[in-house]
Each structure stands twice: as structure tokens, then as C-alpha cells.
Amino acid sequence: MTQTSGAYEQSRLTPDRLARLATRVETGGDRPSIPVQTPITDTEIGTIPACSDDDIVAAVDRARQAQSAWAETPVESRAEIIERFGDLVDEHRDNLLDIVQLETGKVRQHALEEVVDIPATCSYYASNGPAELTDSGRAAPIPLLTSASVTYDPVGVVGVISPWNYPLTLSLTDAIPALLAGNAVVCKPDERTPFIALALGELLEEAGLPDGLFQIVTGEGAAVGPALIDNVDYLVFTGGTETGRTVAERAGRNLIGCSLELGGKNPMVVLDDADVETAARGAVTGAFTNAGQLCLAPERIYVDEDRYDAFLDAVVSATENLTLGHSFDYGPDIGSLISGDHLDSVREHVDSAVEGGATVATGGRARPDVGPNFYEPTILTDVSPDSRIICEETFGPVVSVVPVSDAEEAIERANDTEYGLNGSVWTSDRDRGRAIAREIDCGTVCVNDPYAVGWAAIDAPMGGMGDSGLGRRHGPEGIHRFVESKTIATSRIGPLDTPPSVPHSVTARALTGLAAVQRRLSRLIR
């Protein structure tokens, strides 16, 4: 189905519903309004307030006041609220899907990936988070006479700056462990996709989260971001690399921690023993999910020359079977890009590559007949290794397919980038795939899957190397970033110094002997 008008009519939403959500943003008075457009039709669906610096400070203050009591709440009680929130997200799935689709223009099956992610994340941290926050004993310098333990305190108020491409998942996937750890959260969603974060805030309240703990501020990033970074105790940012550098610099000046998931120019390596049809299916799934507006999507595919022709035929055929369009039911395969500006950027990347000698194997055109911001899934060949399409993130439904002589060349080409977010290896020998995955410089490398098996492994950390970011979400690492570890060391014999009646030489011999015993014990334990 092609949607060219009447976005509201085909959804289960009304303008009044979004207007009520916008009133959840607390401001100190009348503020200028920012229009929010749906990329489906390029028409306005609502407005949000442009928060001022004073509004940001007030939101952080409200969060900080609520956080003190929340930190004293037993972690088991916090986990129950997080679990209930996950259940509510599942119960309100259709409504949330409609909001995500209306704001982003993505097709329903791609929006569903976001909605099912949140309950899974809630269940993981509700089940596993409390153990990660429990005091732990550590080895002490003099066994029996001294002890050491580590406790974990929440950092305080966590700021979350979330992007437009996955506004449901990325507004809450970091907030969930932050809240469980006893923090408050102030979320700044992208101004193009604010309503889904507001709807999630409503569900958090319904789940029993105390008032004030999850604040939402709205506005353009350049206007709102600095005040947020200057007032919170930790900052999570997901977005572009250049903006990420600015965020990291400001966080550094404020001496607060930050985690950043930034851009990627992700490689996909197809080895000489790969099943061509399986690899082609994975390439299409990975490269064109959410119209390629996915930081984990493969944009460079390196194929062993013995598999190249067969792979190219298979991936072109599979791509040409995809359908473009929009429906609030399950139907079309590929949805809209987020805006006309982004469409122009994707088109410029492809046009530049073609001017440099690349060949369009399929796609390569905007599709205004489908909608104002649609672009065909595109496969390029004969690309120059130093072209923009190889070196810069396109963030659209465009992928380059390049032949390589062997696995060694594939690894070298895969690592020839400043980015290091996600990669994949395709082979019939999984042990070989895992061995080659270790050679690829990315925070996550999947074998025989483009990205989902890595993202869905919530117990394992996810993040980037190089220009793809700092820190990790998911797993124990995903909750430890939101706490300050504190060591409490105790002596049963008073201060560890030389008693007044004992010569220093005797103490020196005793300490030397004790250290030697400790080293021997450590070696025996190993």
C-alpha cells in the first residue's frame, strides 16, 4: 500500500492524543512551539515546546529531588516496577507502533523490533540487575585481620539524548538500567520524534514509577543539549560522530561520565564457503531494515571472488522483490526516510559514487510516486575504495558490494575505516567465522546474521570502537556505568603501621614475608 495522505486516518491516533502527550513537558511558562512532521506525507502532526535552559535546570532539579527516595527503595521493588513497565509496553503494543510509524515513517515490522525490545530489556535487568548491584567481598591485604568490600551507589541524575531512527528503543533501553540502579533520568528525545518518548513516560507512571523520576525535555539538540550536559551526573548519547565529539568534550569539562553510540560504516564479509542465498538474505535484511537508517546496518559487503557473481545475482534479485510504501498494518517491506534533507544526503552519496565510476546494480532513485521521502533500496558495484560511499556513513538504503581475493583481504578492507560499531561474517564453518570475527575491529561482530543476534543478546555488551563511540550498553556493563563503586576496607587490628615498640626493620621483614606468601598463594590458586 502506498500512503500519500491521511496519515492520521490510517492509524489509530488522533491529533488530540499527541497534543495531550505534549502537555507532559513541564515548562516555566509559554515557550515557542516546534512543529513535528510525519515523513510519510511531510505534514504536521503536532507541536512540542522549545524548552529553555531554565526548563532544563528545573527538570533536573525535580529529578534530583525524586532520586534520593528512589535510591533508598529496595532494588527488588525497583525491579518490580521495571518489569511492570515492560508488561505495559507489550499490552499497548499497537498504540506504540502507530506512534513510532507516524513519527518515523518506518514500516510496521521494523517498528515492531523496537516495541519487543523494551519488554525483553526490562525482564533482563529486573532479573539480573539486582545481583550486579549487591555488595561484593574482595581480597583483603591480610586475610582474617582485614576485609574489603565494594558497594554501588547510583550516580544521581542520568541524561539520555536519544535519536530519531529508533526513538522508542533508544529513549528507554539505557533509562531502564539507570532507573533500576537507583538513578533518575532526564530524557531529551529528538525533536522529530518526541511523542513516543512521552507515551513511554506515561506508561512508566502507570507502572508505578514515582513522580519526577523520569523527566522529558524537548527542543532542538543544539539548544537543549548543553544545558542538559551541564546539569546531569552522567550522559548517554546516541547519534552522529561529530555531535558525539562535542558531547564528549562538554562532559569531560564537567567531569561526568558518558557513553556514546555513534556512527558506523559497517562491514559484511562473505567467505568462500558461505551459502550464497543465506548471505544475500542477510544482506537485504541488514542493509535495508528501517530504510537503512540503522547504525548497525552493513554498508560495505566484501565477497570472496569465487562467490561474488552468485552473491550479487542473489542479492540484486532479493532487493528487487522488496516493496516500498507505508501502511499501519503489516505489508510493505521498506518505509520512508526521515526527511527531505536526509533524502538529499542519501541521493548525493549515490550520485557522487556514480560520478566516480560506480555502477548501480539496482535502485538508485528517489520515489516521489510512493511518498515525498522514499528512496529505492540500492546496490552499488565497482566502487572506489576511497569514495565517500565507502568511507562515510550513508545511513540510508544503500550498500556497496566489493569482490576480494581471500579472507585476509576481506579482513583488511573491513578494518580500513575509522569506525568500529558492528560487522558480520558469513560462512558454513562457524568456528572459522568466530575466528575471523575476532580479527574485525568492531564492538560487535555477528556470524551468519547481520545484527539482530548481537543486539538481542542482551546479556552481552553492545557498543563501538574508534569513531563509533565510547562505553557499552546491555549486559552487566550496561548497568555498571550508572553506579559509583565504593570500597569499604576494615582492619581488626587498628592502623596498618609499625607499632611503637617494634623496630622498623622487623616490620619490614614481616611485610616482605607476607607479600611473598600472598604471591605464592595467588600462583597456587591460578
C-alpha cell read off for 276: 550464497
- The alpha carbon of 74 is separated from its chain's Cα centroid by a whole number of angstroms, namely 28
At 447 the three-state DSSP class reads: strand
Q: Which fold would CATH assign to domain 7-262+476-483?
A: Aldehyde Dehydrogenase; Chain A, domain 1 (3.40.605)
- The alpha carbon of 403 is separated from its chain's Cα centroid by a whole number of angstroms, namely 31
The more confidently predicted of residues 465 and 510 is: 465
- Whether residue 295 lies in the annotated active site: yes
Which whole-number Å values give the CA distances from 187 to 49, 59, 202, 425, in the listed order?
14, 10, 13, 35
Q: What DSSP character marks residue 211?
A: T
271 burial level (CB within 10 Å; 0-12, 13-18, 19+): buried
Return the closest-CA partner of residue 289 out of 495, 502, 109, 480: 109
Q: Which fold would CATH assign to domain 266-461?
A: Aldehyde Dehydrogenase; Chain A, domain 2 (3.40.309)
Contact 376, 363 (CB under 8 A): yes
Q: What is the model's pLDDT at position 103? A: 97
C-alpha cell read off for 131: 545481583
User: Concatenated DSSP letters for 82-112?
Assistant: HHHHHHHHHHTHHHHHHHHHHHH---HHHHH
Q: What is the model's pLDDT at position 6? A: 58
- Helices of type H across 232-275: 241-253
pLDDT over 90, % of the chain: 89
Q: Could you tell me the pLDDT band of residue 8, with boundaries at 50, 70 and 90?
A: low
Distance CA 34, CA 26 (A): 15
Q: Could you tell me the pLDDT band of residue 11, with boundaries at 50, 70 and 90?
A: confident
Q: Could you tell me the pLDDT band of residue 509, with boundaries at 50, 70 and 90?
A: confident
Length of the chain: 526
pLDDT tens digits for range 355-396: 999 999 999 999 999 999 999 999 999 999 999 999 999 999
What mean pLDDT comes out for the span 322-326? 97
- Sequence-distant (6+) residues with CB within 8 A of 46 are 15, 18, 19, 21, 22, 35, 36, 195
Q: What is the model's pLDDT at position 13? A: 84
Which whole-number Å values give the CA distances from 254 to 63, 68, 483, in the listed order?
19, 22, 17
Q: What is the pTM of this model?
A: 0.95
Contact 152, 483 (CB under 8 A): yes
The catalytic position among 83, 114, 132, 261 is 261
- The alpha carbon of 155 is separated from its chain's Cα centroid by a whole number of angstroms, namely 20
pLDDT tens digits for range 50-81: 999 999 999 999 999 999 999 999 999 999 99
Q: What is the model's pLDDT at position 143? A: 83
Task: Indicate left, alpha or beta for 347 from its phi (over 0: left) and psi (-120 to 50: alpha).
Answer: alpha
At 444 the three-state DSSP class reads: strand
Q: What is the model's pLDDT at position 500? A: 81
Q: Could you tell me the pLDDT band of residue 4, with boundaries at 50, 70 and 90?
A: very low
The catalytic position among 295, 299, 376, 442 is 295
Contact 326, 40 (CB under 8 A): yes
For residue 525, pLDDT beyond 80: no
Return the closest-CA partner of residue 439 out of 458, 455, 462, 416: 416
**Residue ranges of domains in the chain:** 7-262+476-483, 266-461
Distance CA 339, CA 104 (A): 9
pLDDT tens digits for range 182-237: 999 999 999 999 999 999 999 999 999 999 999 999 999 999 999 999 999 999 99
Long-range contacts of 198-203 (CB under 8 A, 24+ apart): 198/21, 198/22, 198/24, 198/25, 199/21, 199/92, 199/95, 199/96, 199/99, 200/89, 200/96, 200/118, 200/168, 200/171, 200/172, 201/24, 202/21, 202/24, 203/85, 203/88, 203/89, 203/92
What mean pLDDT comes out for the span 438-466? 98
Distance CA 213, CA 78 (A): 12
Average pLDDT of every residue of the chain: 95
**Helix and strand counts by DSSP (H, E) for the chain:** 20, 20
pLDDT over 70, % of the chain: 98
Q: What is the model's pLDDT at position 5? A: 42
Kindly give the pairing relationship between strand 483-491 and strand 146-154. antiparallel
> Which value, in Å, is the radius of gyration of the alpha carbons in the chain?
26
4 burial level (CB within 10 Å; 0-12, 13-18, 19+): middle
Q: Could you tell me the pLDDT band of residue 7, with boundaries at 50, 70 and 90?
A: low
What mean pLDDT comes out for the span 474-500? 93
pLDDT tens digits for range 105-118: 999 999 999 999 99
For residue 12, pLDDT beyond 90: no
Half-sphere CA count of 396, side-chain side, radius 13 A? 31
For residue 44, pLDDT beyond 70: yes
Helix (H) or strand (E) holding 328: none
For residue 43, pLDDT beyond 80: yes
